[in-house]
Amino acid sequence: MFTLYAIASIFLYFFAKIGVSYTNPPTLMMIRYLIAGLILFSISRKFILDKNVLILSLFTTTSTLFWGYGLIYVSPAASSVLSYTMPLFSIILATIIIKEIPNKYEILGLIIGFSGLGIYGIPLLKGITKIGMMLTIINAIFWALFSIYYRKLSKYDVISLNATQFILGSFFMGIVDLITIRGGFYFDPSFGLLESIVYISTVGGAFQFLSWNYLLKIERVGKVTMLAYIIPVATTITQAALYKTIPKSLEILGLTIMIIGVIISRSSIKRNTNFKK
């Protein structure tokens, strides 16, 4: 399941980057959420409306909006790497919200992995990329919050839960779109925009959210989010291959340290498995 989630997530950054070049982030993400919600509702035929789902929807919508605006200023690889500061916030917030205490390997792996992310982000601390960096990190904080809420709502039906939060999210996106429209609205209907919408709504929308939710139902937040460090590494490699560009030395160093963090965090899973045997 994680492998499928990772593949869907890697290419999501590239298609979303294309999308925000054709229209406003709130417009793009409103369409994404609406299509994904309708797909899932056609399967579940059920909405779940309560306070927790409303909070979840607000967290997912806020995260997605900041991510979309951040993509205007940074590359797909940088967006992916910065988004995956999320594990730092998720482990801290999971301890507070759902009392899920990380073990020493998860903490050590997190510290090392996040240090790698910090090194990677040094070249971004200048010009307009600084704005994109800040927006994307805010996205990461809200991503951590909605990941924890997925775990908190693990007894809910996954498809119905995601159908509801997508439909509610599209409504919230529409409100933001109306509020921000005076700042400049652009919508360039083209094949590129269509490609972006199709991917980010289906593989990178309905499927990605469902698989992430499913992973958080069967695993601890700390373990799942630590595994997710693999995605920014793969996204950076994919960007280098697609755009024929070589990552900077600080990026390579940062990503290498991140991989070490993943290996250390995974060692806790192996130890736990051996203990159970």
Instruction: Kindly tell me if the per-residue pLDDT of 160 is higher than 80.
Output: yes
Tokens of 11: 């290419």
In tens, the pLDDT along 181-195 reads 776 788 899 999 999
Contacts of 268 (CB under 8 A, 6+ apart): 103, 104, 105, 106, 109, 223
Q: Which amino acid is at 87?
A: P
* pLDDT value of position 222: 62
Cβ–Cβ < 8 Å for 176, 26: yes
Q: Which one has a higher pLDDT value, 61 or 250? A: 61
* Structure confidence at residue 258 as a pLDDT band (50, 70, 90): confident
* pLDDT value of position 272: 45
* pLDDT value of position 65: 96
Q: Residue 184: helix, strand or coil by DSSP?
A: coil
Instruction: Kindly tell me if the per-residue pLDDT of 273 is higher than 50.
Output: no
* Structure confidence at residue 200 as a pLDDT band (50, 70, 90): very high
Task: Please calculate the CA angle 45-48-52 and round it to the nearest 5 degrees.
Answer: 160
* Structure confidence at residue 39 as a pLDDT band (50, 70, 90): very high
Average model confidence (pLDDT) across the chain: 85
Instruction: Kindly tell me if the per-residue pLDDT of 42 is higher than 90.
Output: yes
* Structure confidence at residue 58 as a pLDDT band (50, 70, 90): very high
Tell me which of 52-61, 67-76, 260-269 is least confident. Answer: 260-269
Instruction: Kindly tell me if the per-residue pLDDT of 270 is higher than 60.
Output: no
Tell me which of 20-24, 66-70, 126-130, 225-229 is least confident. Answer: 225-229
Cβ–Cβ < 8 Å for 160, 44: yes
Q: Which one has a higher pLDDT value, 253 or 121? A: 253
